[in-house]
Amino acid sequence: MLPERRTAARTGLAALQLAPILVSVVWQASWVGLLLHSSDPLGRLRHLDWYAFFQAGHRLLAGDLQALYPRELREEFLWLYPPYCAYVTAPLGLLSEQWAYIVCCAVQVASVAGALTFLRATLSAERYVLDVSAVIASSFFNSAVIIGQASGFWALILAASLWSWHGRRAFVTGLLLALMLAKPNWGVVFPAMCLLTRQWRVLGGIAVGFGVMLLSSLPLGLERWHDFARTTHAYVDFVEQLTPMSKQLTMYAFWRTLPGLPHSHGGAITALWLASVLPLLAVTVAAWRRRWSEPTPPLPRLFGLTVLLTIAGNLYVYSYDGLLLLLPAIVWHVQGDQYRSRTCRRLIGGCVLLVFVFGYVALTYGGVAWIGPLVALWLLGEAYDLLSAAPPVTTSRPAGSALGFQTWRVRQGALERRLGLAISARLWSRGTAG
């Protein structure tokens, strides 16, 4: 009966680890049912984020480059990426609306699967079922798939960059990180950390990759960069007025949604944001500088720390972009034995759980943007553990080693006595012979 009980226990544990996926199944099935019962499903789909990629692809193939960036900002989804990113949308311009939406959703699923695969290869993770099911069950994954956003693609780039860096492919890592500059407010963080730690080959890859992307935009005309700058500048006010702050993941969104603060005074909110972000930046830089000089620096944890800073310290990170958190969360779960403080490890675990819960709360009910301070607290726990003093080297032997040591000493003593007797006998024989 004992083997049968073990088999049943393993089956029950596997089922429990897969249970979170049911949340995703319910969400996706509900969305499909809503579309099927809608009188105008295409009209409903046109109000989702994927439609900006679809329109950009059609305008690019039609040669209508002036219409790539809108002249007037209305309450709709806009193309807000640098000009060189327009080439990625070209395949969508060959498809109908229905197929373009399906492709956008499928790309997100494939991107997240690729990110999880790269992370597993980097961390040499054996027990990975719970990590995969938790990511699939998260509100970040489900919302990104439903609206056809590009969050899974950014998670894939970061996971591939970590895998490449861990494999000592520094220049390739830089080329991959250069792709993050498609989101300039995200892409500048990693080059800054590489500069502080003097990772010249990584910086060289970033410079070459970014230069190639800039050159690729020349056929579109320099006017596109002027349009991009104008649209980005105008979109700041658009975000302030029309984008729900409760669905964002930053410390800035937290201060904007916290009751009792003078939200009409932008200067006061900016001051609070700076006061909360500068310490996060300081401890992140300190962790990189202290731990990177070690013979084997904890690269996955430092990489995840930078991702946390990118999210908590930014001015604009929407709910679906929480998919980027899968990287530091999986690193925490897989490399838990590397934490020097149990308190920090448990604190981070609590933050991960609350971020998962509040992801659905923010998506459904709104309210205060609590994910921002949770990510900040997560970052502080990581940084404190990375900066804590190394544990003292112990000289104690494992259980059973004392008995083995005593046995070795007895055998050594017996050997020495035999060797002494042999030498004495040889000397005595020589003396009698003389």
pLDDT along the chain (434 residues), means of 10: 56 63 84 86 86 90 84 66 90 91 93 93 79 85 90 94 92 94 89 89 94 92 87 72 81 87 71 92 92 88 94 89 92 88 91 91 84 94 85 38 39 51 51 48
Taking each continuous run of H as one helix and of E as one strand, the counts in the chain are 20, 0
Name the residue ranges covered by the structural domains of the chain: 37-387
Whether the predicted model's global pTM rises above the 0.75 cut? yes
The C-alpha angle 25, 29, 31, rounded to 5 degrees, equals 125
318 in helix, strand or coil?
strand
Rounded distance between C-alpha atoms, residue 102 and residue 15, angstroms: 30
For 248-284, b/e burial (b = at least 16 CB within 10 A) is bbbbbbbbbbbeeeeeeeeeebeebbeebbeebeebb
CA distances from 306 to 64, 193, 252, 327 (A): 39, 8, 18, 11
CB within 8 A of 325, min separation 6: which ones? 140, 307, 308, 311, 355, 375
Give the CB-side neighbour count of residue 234, counting CA atoms within 13 A: 16
294 in helix, strand or coil?
coil
Residue 401, pLDDT score? 36
Tokens for 205? 């890859």
pLDDT tens-digit map of 81-91 = 899 999 999 99
Burial of 10 (0-12, 13-18, 19+ CB in 10 A): exposed
Q: Give the bridge partners for 318, in sequence order.
A: 248
Residue 21, pLDDT score? 79
CB count within 10 Å of CB 423 equals: 10
Rounded distance between C-alpha atoms, residue 170 and residue 100, angstroms: 35
Residue with the two structure tokens 């780039």:
157
362: which DSSP letter?
Answer: H
- Kindly calculate the radius of gyration of the chain based on its CA atoms and give it in whole angstroms: 29
Give the closest residue to 182 by CA, choosing from 58, 286, 81: 81
Rounded distance between C-alpha atoms, residue 214 and residue 87, angstroms: 12
CB 316 within 8 A of CB 239: yes
- Share of the chain residues as helix, strand and coil, in percent rounded to the nearest 5: 75, 0, 25
Residue 8, pLDDT score? 56
Rounded distance between C-alpha atoms, residue 165 and residue 400, angstroms: 41
Rounded distance between C-alpha atoms, residue 111 and residue 60, angstroms: 24
Alpha helices in 149-222 (DSSP H): 151-166, 170-178, 184-187, 189-196, 200-216
195 in helix, strand or coil?
helix
Determine the distance from the C-alpha atom of residue 54 to the mean position of all C-alpha atoms in its chain, rounded to a whole number. Answer: 27
Tokens for 157? 């780039």
